[in-house]
């Protein structure tokens, strides 16, 4: 079974057409299960609502998107990882060794800690700050979106 950890920026591209969606979908076609933290699920739901708030989507489109996420989860194609004290310990350790020039947000740190805790070698994202911080968690960062 091939699994990959996607952060929320990549998850949204799976479910909503935007720049980079075709590249992310092509990559995901070769993956058996997409993995993300439960925090990422909350971020994904919030991002869907943002599309509605910005008049980029109707309420029906967002409901359909959320139903598809649930369908993918039930089918085993999308798996959510819990956040534990071990994750927070990893976050603490990473911030403790991070140089001053690293811009690491708490949400990104949770994604990185989740991927590291599950022993993923790589995390997929197009978030430059998350990718720049991946090494603090012993991860490499992957961005499959072509310029």
Strand partners, 6: 124
What is the tens place of the pLDDT at every residue in 76-97? 999 999 999 999 999 999 999 9
- Which pLDDT band, with edges at 50, 70 and 90, does 146 fall under? confident
- pLDDT exceeds 80 at position 110: yes
For 102, phi then psi, to 5°, come to -85, 125
**Contacts (Cβ under 8 Å, ≥6 apart) of 63:** none
Query: Residue 97: its pLDDT value, please?
Result: 92
What is the tens place of the pLDDT at every residue in 21-42? 999 999 999 999 999 999 999 9
Query: Residue 28: its pLDDT value, please?
Result: 97
What gap in Å lies between CA 43 and CA 101, rounded to an integer?
25
- pLDDT exceeds 70 at position 62: yes
Q: The whole model's pTM is what?
A: 0.93
Dihedral over alpha carbons 44, 42, 100, 88 (to 10 degrees): -140
Query: Residue 136: its pLDDT value, please?
Result: 94
- pLDDT exceeds 70 at position 147: no
What domains can you pick out in the chain, each with its CATH number? 3-142 (3.40.50.1010)
Query: Residue 1: its pLDDT value, please?
Result: 85
Mean pLDDT computed over every residue of the chain: 95
What is the tens place of the pLDDT at every residue in 123-134? 999 999 999 999
């Amino acid at each position: 079974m091939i699994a990959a950890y996607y952060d929320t920026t990549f998850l949204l591209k799976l479910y909503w057409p935007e720049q980079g969606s075709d590249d992310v979908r092509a990559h995901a076609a070769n993956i058996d299960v997409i993995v993300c933290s439960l925090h990422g699920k909350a971020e994904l739901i919030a991002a869907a609502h943002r599309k509605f708030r910005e008049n980029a989507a109707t309420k029906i489109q967002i409901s359909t998107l959320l139903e598809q996420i649930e369908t993918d989860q039930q089918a085993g194609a999308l798996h959510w990882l819990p956040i534990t004290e071990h994750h927070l310990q990893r976050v603490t350790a990473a911030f403790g060794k991070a140089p001053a020039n690293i811009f690491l947000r708490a949400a990104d740190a949770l994604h990185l800690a989740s991927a590291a805790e599950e022993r993923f070698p790589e995390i997929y994202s197009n978030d430059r700050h998350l990718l720049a911080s991946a090494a603090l968690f012993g991860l490499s960062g992957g961005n499959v979106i072509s310029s």
